[in-house]
Structure 1
């Protein structure tokens, strides 16, 4: 693929994402997209069959990038020789999601717009599907369970649901709050969500809240 094609397709993608800032995808048409991208319809149809084809192309790129980043981060876990403690899992969060966080940060605008009320209501479920697959791949390294996973186990499905939704929802929250949450905070939360119960997290929040009020009083 030559540089002109890559540039044009990127321009069209950006046109769609810009449009989603002010209009629901269901109410968008090709004319709206080409206007935002500042291209002709002829150029648009050179690369895409329609708006759904374009949306799918954007989402496929993001999903594939997410899968590749998670796979790179997973290599860190393959070197574990024993079951990690909760403290070690907290520390691992700094490197076990490093590439993933970098990719999400690089594409934060795209994730934010597609996950917004103007975006694709099915995109979140596509991300969750990636998360479920990654959980199954990481499970043996985190728990050293070499036997076949009991996929019909209600307990395992519940654990997977908590683990995956906890991590994905942190990344989604991060994408929607640009500038309010830094990458260090994201890594810290990713570690906590894997090792702490909801009650422990509430207690941690209370400590932070108390610290915040003390700081405000000193100002």
Structure 2
């Protein structure tokens, strides 16, 4: 009996999440009502409130799952070895590619700015450590350099998603790393 309830709970949560993500493709979270989510999910409001307190709570849960998954994806690189930046970037881009629809919506202007900041914080944490370890940047400047690097990378990923991921993750990772390490001098123009 418990297994049946767990499956039903999982299914309900999945349908609610999918419904919210579909609505976020059309409009911002502040314009989405619980009624709209429930209608799209074909679930009544009391069922919604059994699982979530608001549309923001539902969005927050989706974001937390993505953040956890991203951290897990990068967990194998916990010691931040010098030279692993490209592999880390590839793995992160492969994750984004596998979760294209969700990442595209959450990183867009309709997504939550706080989510984008959390993604930046994850990337900054890994980037700062690597830059200092590689002696590429002195410790006092690493936060500024990392912020520049990560902000540009996130916008590049947003554009990549908008363009239908027109380059494979490995190629985009190479572009990001070359730009980070050598600026425009590293690219053949």
- For normalisation by structure 2, the TM-score amounts to 0.82
What CA RMSD, in Å, does the superposition of the two structures yield over aligned residues?
2.6
2:74, 2:92 within 8 Å by CA — same for their partners in 1? yes
- Deviation for aligned residue 1:197: 1.6
User: How many residues were matched structurally?
Assistant: 185
Separation (CA, whole Å) in 2 of partners of 1:173 and 1:73: 26
Separation (CA, whole Å) in 1 of partners of 2:43 and 2:164: 29
1:24, 1:118 within 8 Å by CA — same for their partners in 2? yes
Separation (CA, whole Å) in 2 of partners of 1:19 and 1:195: 39
2:90, 2:169 within 8 Å by CA — same for their partners in 1? no
Deviations 1:116-147 (A, max 9, x none): 222223322221122222223434553499xx
> Which residue in 2 is equivalent to 1:157?
143
Which of these two proteins has the greater Rg computed from alpha carbons?
Answer: 1
Q: Which runs of 5+ in 2 are unaligned?
A: none
Q: 1:60 aligns with which of 60, 64, 74?
A: 64
Separation (CA, whole Å) in 2 of partners of 1:106 and 1:119: 18
What pairs with 1:130-149 in structure 2 (closer than 5 Å)?
A: 130-139=122-131, 141-143=133-135
1:30, 1:41 within 8 Å by CA — same for their partners in 2? yes
- Deviation for aligned residue 1:114: 1.8
Inter-CA distance 165–179: structure 2 relative to 1 (3 Å threshold): closer
> Tell me, what secondary structure is at the counterpart of 1:97?
helix
> Tell me, what secondary structure is at the counterpart of 1:197?
helix
Separation (CA, whole Å) in 2 of partners of 1:50 and 1:26: 11
Q: Which runs of 5+ in 1 are unaligned?
A: 207-219
Task: Give structure 1 regions of 4+ aligned residues with deviation exceeding 6 angstroms.
Answer: none
1:73, 1:98 within 8 Å by CA — same for their partners in 2? no
Q: 2:170 aligns with which of 172, 180, 184?
A: 184
> Tell me, what secondary structure is at the counterpart of 1:181?
coil
